[in-house]
Amino acid sequence: MKTLIRLTAAVLLLAPALLRAAVSPEEAARLGAELTPLGGEKAGNADGSIPAWTGGLKSAAEAGFPNYHPGDHYPDPYANDKPLLTINSANLTQYASKLTEGHKALFRKYADYKMLVYPTHRSAAAPQSVYDATKRNATSGKLVPDGNGVTGAIGGVPFPIPKVGVEVFWNHVTRYRGLAAGLQVGQAPLTAGGGYTLVNFKEEFYFQYYQPGMTEAALNNILLFFTQETTGPARLAGEVLLVQETLDQAKEARRAWVYNPGQRRVRRAPNVAFDNPGTNSDNLRTSDQFDMYNGSPERYEWKLVGKKEMYVPYNAYRLQDGKLKYGELLQKNHINQDLARYELHRVWVVDSTLKSGVSHLYSRRTLYVDEDSWQILAVDCYDTRGQLYRVQEGHAMNYYNLPTLWTDLELVMDLSNGRYLALGLQSEEPKSYDFNIKRTPVDYQPSVLERRARVCARARSGRSGCTATRAVRRACPARRAVAADRGGGGRPAAGRGGRPWRHRALRRSRQNLGAGA
């Protein structure tokens, strides 16, 4: 009898985690009515400082740039805005109620730190197909036991009307960012004195969860595929990371592999998770801080604090402007705050506290999540003593040719030593995101990774000939180096035996990702 009681109690404890996420059809009907299609409040605030959401920027033409060419850096639709106010250490108290704890700490630590606050534009938008799927998910999406995964959702946000904190986390992890994307980016780990060595990456995302016609059964528990190749400096170049991110992490954890150019082998990488150091970050971020917060939420207890009006980074088009040099942006202790843009937005505030019996570098994290897009915009990170340790910012903008709201710069600022990490740097790269790359899941398998990495190594070393499969050639990130080193003028010279370089798939990949990707 006692065993039966214990089993019954266990079932009752698990049931809320499985059932409380899905809302009633009546509540779901609020989406697109008084709520935005993704779950934000449509109405503005009482004093009008936050306007009503009227659809966001749904196209380049609507943003004012009908001739925008995909892959180019994005012109700023709000370039003529002037700051409404400047927050600094002198007037911090006046605005403290609308600042994160991390931002208040930055004002206290750095006398020159400031925030320029601009008019609020609720620019976030997504395709209608995402809105439709989100409404379906509202009545079917559920958490798996312990909140370590999602079931019953596909092609949209799973919990547009969240009831618990971990649902907000999953909304961020599953938010729409296109079908696939490729980008060449920079990462700068700055010293306390302001010096840095730029690290370059070539990154690709393939969002299986959002592929047209995808079903939960066909998903095979894969949310997305991700590759990251280090392309510079030379001493680091050649390492390639492959991640297959799962949606139900209780069923199966993330799968990851790394190609090491020194060993010329692909190995499983179980440490690409939680608080293990991020790739080439000089220990300034953990693996789960990429994209602000990623991976499994299982080590934390989650609490939904509520919604609050706060000054957060938003519409950060200036930070990816092709005319901006990294040297102008990256300064001692923090970025050039004259270039950063902050706006007043409503955000979901979520607290995550480390569970007993498990370890992590951060004992607590407070997330500030945009109500209109589910993009995390700021995170306060506390050390094992409970002291504020690091501050994250996600400077976001609407990539309006999709459309989607996503970061164009992420920062991890260490309060203990005055250092910070800037990742996702775009402005000196020849292209912005290319959302038109053509990929399939076949391109993101360990066997392909090894062949691809070897082909890239051959290209970098100047050895002629390419025996790669079509999938490998299509994905090869060394094509620009091949063109420049062998033939110049954007066309490779003769390959093995004097024959011209004629890989159609390789030429197609140049078009797909752009010569600088």
Is the model's pLDDT at 510 over the cut of 80?
no
**Rounded mean pLDDT, 316-325:** 99
| 87 pLDDT higher than 80 | yes
- 268 and 155 in one domain? yes
| Same-domain check for residues 265 and 323 | yes
End residue of a domain, out of 406, 425, 444: 425
- Indicate whether 106 belongs to any domain: no
Residue 229 lies in a domain: yes
Is 89 domain-assigned? Answer: no
> What's the average model confidence in pLDDT over 72-78?
99
Q: Is residue 275 part of a domain?
A: yes
For the cut 90, the answer to whether the pLDDT of residue 506 exceeds it is no
- Looking at the fold, whether 404 and 472 belong to one and the same domain comes out as no
Question: What gap in Å lies between CA 62 and CA 60, rounded to an integer?
Answer: 5
The b/e string for 164-192 (b: 16+ C-beta within 10 A; e otherwise) is bbbbbbbbbbbbbbbbbbbbbbbbbbbee
- 162 pLDDT above the threshold of 90: yes
Output the pLDDT for position 507: 40
22 pLDDT band (50/70/90 cuts)? confident
Number of domains comprising the chain: 2
What's residue 183's pLDDT? 97
Residues 163-183 have a mean pLDDT of 99
What type of residue is 438? K
Arithmetic mean of pLDDT, 429-440 = 97
| Rounded Cα distance, 283 and 436, in Å | 33
Domain closes at, from 425, 440, 471:
425
Residue 482: what pLDDT? 38
Q: Are 330 and 193 in contact (CB under 8 A)?
A: no
Would you state the structure tokens that stand for residue 139, as one six-digit string?
């009545």
Tokens (6 digits) for 306:
């509520």
Residue 332 sits in the same domain as residue 374? yes
221 with 363, same domain?
Answer: yes
**How would residue 466 be classed by pLDDT, with cut points 50, 70 and 90?**
very low
pLDDT at 272 over 90: yes
Same domain, 508 and 399: no
The rounded distance, in Å, linking the Cα atoms of 430 and 72 is 8
Check whether residue 235 and residue 282 sit in a common domain. yes
Residue 20 confidence class, pLDDT cut points 50, 70, 90: low
Which residue, of 425, 440, 467, is where some domain finishes?
A: 425
Q: Has residue 491 got a pLDDT over 60? A: no
Given a contact cutoff of 8 angstroms between Cβ atoms, the answer to whether 449 and 472 are in contact is no
Rounded average pLDDT over 368-386:
99
Confidence band of 103 (pLDDT split at 50, 70, 90):
very high
Whether 81 maps to a domain, the answer reads no
Domain with residue 413: its CATH number is: 2.50.20.10
CA angle 485-463-506, nearest 5°? 65
pLDDT value, residue 295: 98
Predicted confidence (pLDDT) at residue 257 exceeds the cutoff of 80: yes
On whether residue 9 sits in a domain, the answer given is no
Residue 475 has pLDDT above 50, yes or no: no
Mean pLDDT value across the chain: 89
Same domain, yes or no: 146 and 280: yes
Q: Give the separation between CA 432 and CA 58, rounded to whole angstroms.
A: 18
Q: Summarize the confidence of residues 274-279 as an average pLDDT.
A: 97
Above 50 in pLDDT, residue 19? no
Q: Provide the token pair at 360.
A: 């992590």
The answer on pLDDT for 432 being more than 60 is yes
The C-alpha atoms of residue 409 and residue 223 are separated, in whole angstroms, by: 23
What would the pLDDT profile of 104-133 be if each residue is shown by its tens digit?
A: 999 999 999 999 999 999 999 999 999 999
- Quickly state the pLDDT bin for 449 (edges 50, 70, 90): confident
What tens digit of pLDDT does each residue of 39-59 get?
Answer: 999 999 999 999 999 999 999
- What mean pLDDT do residues 144-150 have? 96
CA–CA separation, 364 and 366 (whole Å): 7
Report yes or no on 13 lying in a domain: no
Least confident residue range of 2-6, 108-112, 209-213, 245-249: 2-6
User: For the whole model, what pTM was predicted?
Assistant: 0.87
For residue 399, give its domain range. 128-425
Task: State residue 430's pLDDT score.
Answer: 96
Verify that 420 and 349 share a domain, yes or no: yes
Question: Is 88 within 8 Å of 107 (Cβ atoms)?
Answer: yes
| 67: in domain | no
Clarify whether residues 376 and 491 are in a common domain: no
**Mean of pLDDT values over 281-290:** 98
Do 343 and 467 belong together in one domain? Answer: no
Q: What is the pLDDT of residue 100?
A: 99
Same domain for 360 and 238 = yes
Q: Which residues contact 91 (CB under 8 A, 6 or more apart)?
A: none
Residue 224: pLDDT over 50? yes
pLDDT digits (tens, 9 = 90+) for 325-376: 999 999 999 999 999 999 999 999 999 999 999 999 999 999 999 999 999 9
pLDDT of residue 450: 80
